[in-house]
Amino acid sequence: MNILNKPFDTQFQTAPFSKINNDNFFPAFKIAIEKAKKEIEVITNNSEKPSFENTIEALDFSGEELDRISSIFFNLNSAETNDEIQKIAQEVSPLLSEFSNDITLNENLFKRIKTVYNDRNSLNLSTEQQTLLDKKYKSFSRNGANLPEDKKQKLREIDKELSKLKLKFGENVLAETNKFEMLLTNEEDLSGLPEGAKEAAQQLAESKGKEGWLITLDYPSYIPFMTYSDNRELRKKLAIASGAKAFNNDALDNQENVLKITKLRYQRANLLGYKTHAHFVLEERMAKTPKKVDSFLNELLEKAKPAALKEFKELEAFAKELDHIDQLQKWDASYYAEKLKQKLFNLDDEKLKPYFKLENVIQGVFNISEKLYGLHFEEISTIDKYHEDVLTYLVTNNIGDLVSIFYADFFPRPGKRNGAWMTSYKPQYLKNGENSRPHISIVCNFTKPTKSKPSLLTFNEVTTLFHEFGHALHGMLANTTYPSLSGTSVFWDFVELPSQVLENWCYEKEALELFATHYETGEVIPMDLIEKIKASSTFHEGMQTLRQISFGLLDMSWHSGDSPETITNVKEHEKEAFENTLLYPDVAENCMSTSFSHIFQGGYSSGYYSYKWAEVLDADAFELFKEKGIFNKEVATKFKNNVLSQGGTEDPMVLYKRFRGQEPKPEALLKRAGLIENK
């Protein structure tokens, strides 16, 4: 019997990665889809009157095996993929899309759900049950259950096509990232690079049987080169290669995919009775409407733009004074910003990195979680993993109960997409009196250890680790009844609150002293460096904010305009969307949309604004911690009980106000960012 189609005979029922072969996946998906269909049939054909238990609850617990296989497979497709897995993904995605449509377009099943929904006021449901009923009803009505048959068929075709296009988009970006290599054989070309970056580049070249120093588009290779390399021409070459990902009019080009995805999303929304894809998406977000998102982004733009222009002029003057640069280009941004930062604060990442050994930062985030939420992390070697780099932990509470299994995967490799993310292999839920605990994972791309140095993180990588770990806590501390409401199953503009709020601890002396110790001497990070980290935290905040706003506006331009049918040129459309946020001259060879995976492959379409939206929430939330003490147990418990453990069981604003006692105030963010005076 296929190992994926039976309960996992492992400790804690974790995924038996080493025993799973790629050949297992496709047949396992087919079997699991058939099993899930039978479960749906049982619910649909139940002769008893539709009730919350026999319809809504039964539906939420159905398809567990299929969900488990999907999470294993698609997580591998992101973190440890290969040609074979990508091929299976292309074959299986339409089947899953078809199955999903089979459920939401099942008339008899929807009739049962509608009956329960219409009786909802007399059913005496708990808040969580009401939320589940509402979400189940909407998941059907918002996905075509009320459509006539011909339109249902059209919807199926669109969904099938979209699932393939999104996969193809991601595959092209990964292939482009892996394809580019810049081999340097003259040591002078490495001028300005820190020793650690040079050593890593040399080791990378060695690992590929080449002599010299190899620079790639993977972040741990790309970022140090763009930040420190004195060779402007090489920075230009690297920046253009990065910005031209999937924009080269070749087999890996994504322009056609972008146009097709946006048009299909628009058609889908129209079919369902919505004006645009953004109207469809935002109905189920805190922001509610495209108008609200636009006014939110433009309000921030109004506050950030003057600061950004001022910072940019200062940077221009600095580059001119230092190197007689007449026109700053995108490939100059990180280089001169780093130099200016060093001049203003006498602080650079190379001075900080020795205090941020990866293992110490991991231990630090564990210690902070223990102080705040009473969690204990124990590395465990008996849990199977999909790659030798992955670390596995047992997470328990103060009385030794299992809270979660935790996987951490920190280093880049060819089968892994760039960036950082949190995911899960199994959700938390309550069934038959047992609280089944989640299996949570974070995936990052940090600098690997070299022969002479351990993995030393830049401060930006430290905040990235804390960010993803904040998401992980949201998953680990889940305590809901139903799997579809558990952990990070919340509105997308709320999901970034737990991740972004945890980043705040990286700037606090009390927290830094727990883990920021010199990897050679054990010396705790000096107070003056902590002061400099804090002082520099708002450095170029105007430009950073403008950058984030520009991504949000680009996303909305693709998804909230009158008709994407009229867009024929991806680059021209993008230039128009960026018009109000431009600082640097446009680079003709570059296009962001063709590799904007967040919105064209991930789940952020019409949702990129949520990073900024959640920053308002996190700045406001952290103000309470600052007021009462960053390790104040009472505040931490309130945050855990009202936000982290609640998942999507209630409207997020209700949960937030229960924690904070009020709606969030944007002023907290603007003050923290230095965009308005902190009175």
The 3-class SS string of 132-180 reads HHHHHHHHHHCCCCCCCHHHHHHHHHHHHHHHHHHHHHHHHHHHHHHHC
Contact 69, 32 (CB under 8 A): yes
Q: Which range is least confidently modeled, 336-345, 498-507, 659-668?
A: 659-668
DSSP letter (8 states) at residue 524:
B
Nearest to 152, CA basis, from 218, 206, 103 = 103
> Strands 402-409, 439-443: parallel, antiparallel or unpaired by DSSP?
parallel
Q: What is the pTM of this model?
A: 0.89
What is residue 675's predicted lDDT score, i.e. its pLDDT?
83
What is residue 348's predicted lDDT score, i.e. its pLDDT?
81
**Quick check: is 468 catalytic?**
yes
Contact 479, 435 (CB under 8 A): yes
User: What CATH number was assigned to the domain covering residues 354-483?
Assistant: 3.40.390.10
Which residues are paired to 435 by β-bridges? 430
Residue 665 confidence class, pLDDT cut points 50, 70, 90: confident
Element containing residue 309 per DSSP (H, E)? helix 290-323
What is residue 668's predicted lDDT score, i.e. its pLDDT?
85
Nearest to 451, CA basis, from 186, 128, 195, 162 = 195
The tens digit of pLDDT for each residue in 532-560 reads: 998 898 999 999 999 999 999 999 999 99
What is residue 406's predicted lDDT score, i.e. its pLDDT?
98
Cβ contacts of 418 within 8 Å, gap of 6 or more: 177, 217, 218, 219, 412, 445
Element containing residue 214 per DSSP (H, E)? strand 213-216
The tens digit of pLDDT for each residue in 561-614 reads: 888 989 999 999 999 999 999 999 999 999 999 999 999 998 899 999 999 999
For Cα atoms 293, 298, 301, give the angle at the middle one, nearest 5 degrees.
130
Per-domain boundaries in the chain: 3-146, 180-243, 354-483
The tens digit of pLDDT for each residue in 92-137 reads: 999 999 999 999 999 999 999 999 999 999 999 999 999 999 999 9
What is residue 673's predicted lDDT score, i.e. its pLDDT?
86
What is residue 347's predicted lDDT score, i.e. its pLDDT?
86
Which one is catalytic: 65, 461, 468, 541?
468
Helix (H, G, I), strand (E, B) or coil at 580: helix
Contacts 24+ apart (CB under 8 A), 22-28: 22/82, 22/84, 22/85, 22/88, 25/69, 25/73, 25/85, 25/88, 25/92, 26/88, 26/91, 26/92, 27/2, 28/2, 28/3, 28/4, 28/69
What is residue 678's predicted lDDT score, i.e. its pLDDT?
62
Helix (H, G, I), strand (E, B) or coil at 252: coil
What is residue 669's predicted lDDT score, i.e. its pLDDT?
87
User: CA 346: distance to chain centroid?
Assistant: 32
What proportion of the chain, given as a percentage, has pLDDT over 90? 92
CA atoms within 13 Å, Cβ hemisphere of 676: 10
* DSSP, residue by residue, 422-457: EEEEE--EEETTEEEPPEEEEE--PPPP-SS---B-
The arithmetic mean of pLDDT across residues 244-260, rounded, is 98
What is residue 129's predicted lDDT score, i.e. its pLDDT?
98
Residue 69: how many other CB atoms lie within 10 Å: 23
Residue 560 tokens, joined: 């909230």
For residue 267, is pLDDT > 80? yes
Cβ contacts of 256 within 8 Å, gap of 6 or more: none
Residue 563: how many other CB atoms lie within 10 Å: 12
What is residue 602's predicted lDDT score, i.e. its pLDDT?
85
The tens digit of pLDDT for each residue in 354-406 reads: 999 999 999 999 999 999 999 999 999 999 999 999 999 999 999 999 999 99
Contact 356, 456 (CB under 8 A): yes
Amino acid at 290: P
What is residue 308's predicted lDDT score, i.e. its pLDDT?
96
Is 1.20.1050.40 the CATH number for 3-146?
yes
Contact 119, 135 (CB under 8 A): no
What proportion of the chain, given as a percentage, has pLDDT over 70? 100
The tens digit of pLDDT for each residue in 437-489 reads: 999 999 999 988 988 999 999 999 999 999 999 999 999 999 999 999 999 99
Residue 331 tokens, joined: 């490939």
Nearest to 608, CA basis, from 590, 593, 623 = 593
Residue 555 tokens, joined: 């996303």
For residue 679, is pLDDT > 60? no
Helix (H, G, I), strand (E, B) or coil at 230: coil
Nearest to 62, CA basis, from 46, 78, 76, 42 = 42
* DSSP, residue by residue, 39-100: HHHHHHT--SPP-IIIIIIHHHTTTHHHHHHHHHHHHHHHHS--HHHHHHHHHHHHHHHHHH
Cβ contacts of 609 within 8 Å, gap of 6 or more: 287, 293, 296, 297, 493, 552, 555, 556
Residue 81 tokens, joined: 């993929």
Contact 387, 413 (CB under 8 A): yes
For residue 677, is pLDDT > 80? no
